[in-house]
Amino acid sequence: MMGPAAATRLQDTLRRLSGISCQECRHTALGPCVACPACGSASLVETVFRPQGVLIAHTTCFHLSAPHQSQRSRIYGIVELTDGPRFISEITDWISVSLAVRQPGVMVIRRLFTPPPDSVICYGYKFRPDIETPCL
Amino acid sequence: MRPVVIRGVGCTPIGEHWSIGLATLGATAVRAALADAGITDVDALVVGNMLSGVLCAQENLGACVAERAGLRGVEALKVEAACASGAAALRVGWGLVASRACDRVVVLGLEKMTDAPPDVVTQSLAFANAERDSVLGLTNTALAALLTQLYLDEHRVPEFSLASFCLSAYARSTHTSWSMFQKAVTYRDWLDSPRVSTPLGLYDCPANADGAAAVLLTSDAQSALGGSEPIEVSAIVGCSDSMSLEHRSDMLAFNAARRSFEAALRAADVNAAEVDLFEVHDAFPVVAALGLEAAGYFARGDGWRYHHRNEVDCRRVPVIQCMGGLKGKGHPVGASGIYQVIDVCTQLRGQAGVNQVSPAAIGVAQSLGGLAASAYTTVLRRRCVR
């Protein structure tokens, strides 16, 4: 279970699509980096990416790990952001939406799981398909 | 560096060993390997293990197993590289012998997964990238399912085509005495199996299991002492890649697997077409397909055609899953890398019975950790052949 220190450290990572843009190879990546994952350069610029993107793969997972196992299933997807990076996220607000590859959507903040009474409530990003826009 | 050989192998059956503790399980395999080699003393014990601290609350595993195996006093340590932990330990043990730091090293792959509740095991396997995956609830199987979906979509592969990796694995595991599953699986079974994470069903996923497998490494000179037929470890090379799939420029290319395979074969002075056996890391069908592509046996997007290889233009392709693979035998994660090596040694010694592949002179085992974030390739060769 995540303690207060980890929850504090990760709140920026989990609530904004923050990452890096490499000044050497132009690679973009989400999450904290001290060197470019592609070329190893330390010449990085911290970047907050726009929340719009498209779903490029998804799965319905029926066997969840602790502490998420109170849910019967979850949908996860690989999302390609308009700004370039990809990220893996839970898909939310999908009821009545028929998920499809290239489905556009947007990052939203939601509670990640229901914690025990003595734990920190953890919020983070999920991906919400946009049912108004046709698949790209 | 001096030549290194495997002089003894030993393992426990893979399964649910509820009556045996972690250290005793490991010690059983160590003693079997020593007996196979016909010796009683070693200079060092290297243990490959992923989850002993989390699932069994046991660290300092080297000393723990050494004492239980009657090797108190020897240098003993644990090596960890997710599911490739066993192969990583072999790399360390090989280095100790090849560099002349030690003459005899026993390398043990050890995992005990069934002592903990399944949801805790699932969470622990996600620790391969804990700060992100476990918070989001992502499981290792969910990541493999996403990779599978991407593979099926991008290469327009029919979903049923990946079944062949499962069916062939279970068919061979029925003839392997140490495998967890002794019953073949039919296509109907595969179709009807419950989904774990779409599109992956029960038979597409490796079984959590307990297991211990050990090999005894010695220098080439010591192989004249007797015991079972020595198998040469011609090369072993490890490489790494991004832990996060989304950080890889191409999610459908296992670059660490490709680099370690190419470097190991180059170091062993072996051509890929000369390889008779390739123990590919088949934890999930898509991982096996991508492993075959990374090794260069198939073009990008064609790895799933392994069982239909007469229909495509590909190199001479070795036999895979020669004793049932990770899927048919079960997958005690930190031990699997050594089980793969024992599978190949059994074949090279001509002791595989119904599963025997002929000819079997050169075998390769590739162990991957964290969806190929860690990759170890070992080239094994029967001596006095070719």
List Cα–Cα distances, A76 to A55, B71, B102, B182, in angstroms. 10, 48, 48, 34
Band the pLDDT of B129: cuts 50, 70, 90: low
Residues of B with CB under 8 A from a CB of A: 117-120, 122-123, 125-126, 131-132, 134-139, 141-143, 145-150, 153, 194-200, 242, 244-247, 249, 251
Chain B: closest CA distance from residue A27 (Å): 9
What mean pLDDT is reported for chain B? 93
Size of interface A-B (CB pairs under 8 A): 109
Nearest-by-Cβ selection for A62 from B125, B153, B197: B197
Residue A10: list chain B partners with CB under 8 A: 131, 135
Burial of B151 (0-12, 13-18, 19+ CB in 10 A): buried
B interface test, pick of A13, A61, A102 with most B CB neighbours within 10 Å: A61
Whether residue B280 is predicted with pLDDT greater than 50 in this model: the reply is yes
Residue B139: list chain A partners with CB under 8 A: 61, 63-65
Residue B242: list chain A partners with CB under 8 A: 37
- For residue B199, the chain A residue with the least C-alpha distance is A59
Contacts 24+ apart (CB under 8 A), B347-356: B347/B277, B347/B322, B347/B323, B348/B231, B348/B277, B348/B380, B348/B381, B348/B382, B349/B228, B349/B229, B349/B231, B349/B382, B352/B322, B352/B323, B353/B175, B354/B175, B355/B172, B355/B175, B355/B176, B355/B322, B355/B323, B355/B324
pTM of the model: 0.95
Question: Cβ of B135 and A57 within 8 Å?
Answer: no
> Could you read off the pLDDT of B218-269 as tens digits, one per residue?
997 665 666 789 999 999 999 999 888 888 889 999 999 999 999 999 999 9
With a pLDDT cut of 70, the percent of chain B lying above it is: 95
Instruction: Report the pLDDT value the prediction gives residue A112, as an integer from 0 to 100.
Output: 84
Question: Cβ of B196 and A61 within 8 Å?
Answer: yes
- For residue A20, the chain B residue with the least C-alpha distance is B247
Residues B24-53 have a mean pLDDT of: 97
Instruction: Report the pLDDT value the prediction gives residue A13, as an integer from 0 to 100.
Output: 81
**Local structure of B70: helix, strand or coil:** coil
Instruction: Report the pLDDT value the prediction gives residue B210, as an integer from 0 to 100.
Output: 98
Whether residue A75 is predicted with pLDDT greater than 50 in this model: the reply is yes
User: Strand B195-197 to strand B200-201: parallel, antiparallel, or no bridges (unpaired)?
Assistant: antiparallel
- For residue B194, the chain A residue with the least C-alpha distance is A62
Question: Cβ of A124 and B123 within 8 Å?
Answer: no
Chain A: closest CA distance from residue B204 (Å): 14
Lowest mean pLDDT among A114-123, B40-49, B71-80: A114-123
Judge contact between B111 and B16, C-beta under 8 A.
no
> Could you read off the pLDDT of B39-60 as tens digits, one per residue?
999 999 999 999 999 999 999 9
Nearest-by-Cβ selection for B149 from A13, A58, A122: A58
**Local structure of B53: helix, strand or coil:** helix
- Give the neighbor-by-neighbor strand order of the sheet with A44-48: A28-30, A18-22, A44-48
ipTM, two decimals, is 0.91
Chain B: closest CA distance from residue A36 (Å): 10
Chain B: closest CA distance from residue A76 (Å): 8
C-alpha–C-alpha distance, residues B130 and B123, integer Å: 9
- In degrees to the nearest 10, what's the CA dihedral of B29, B382, B354, B177? 0
> Could you read off the pLDDT of A7-62 as tens digits, one per residue?
788 877 888 899 999 999 999 988 888 999 889 999 999 999 999 999 999 999 99
> Could you read off the pLDDT of B309-349 as tens digits, one per residue?
777 766 689 999 999 999 999 999 999 999 999 999 999 99
Instruction: Report the pLDDT value the prediction gives residue B385, as an integer from 0 to 100.
Output: 46
C-alpha–C-alpha distance, residues B99 and B97, integer Å: 5
Residues 6+ apart with CB under 8 A from B145: A59, A61, B196, B197, B198, B199, B200
Whether residue B97 is predicted with pLDDT greater than 80 in this model: the reply is yes
Look at B128 and A135; give whichever has higher pLDDT. A135
Look at B381 and A130; give whichever has higher pLDDT. B381
Instruction: Report the pLDDT value the prediction gives residue B142, as an integer from 0 to 100.
Output: 94
Alpha helices (H) in chain B, listed in sequence order:
22-37, 52-55, 61-68, 85-98, 118-125, 130-136, 140-155, 163-173, 187-192, 255-268, 285-294, 325-329, 336-348
Dihedrals φ, ψ of A65, to 5°? -90, 165
A interface test, pick of B135, B157, B159, B251 with most A CB neighbours within 10 Å: B135
> How many Å is the maximal CA-CA distance in chain A?
47
Q: How many residues does chain A have?
A: 136
Question: Cβ of A88 and B197 within 8 Å?
Answer: no
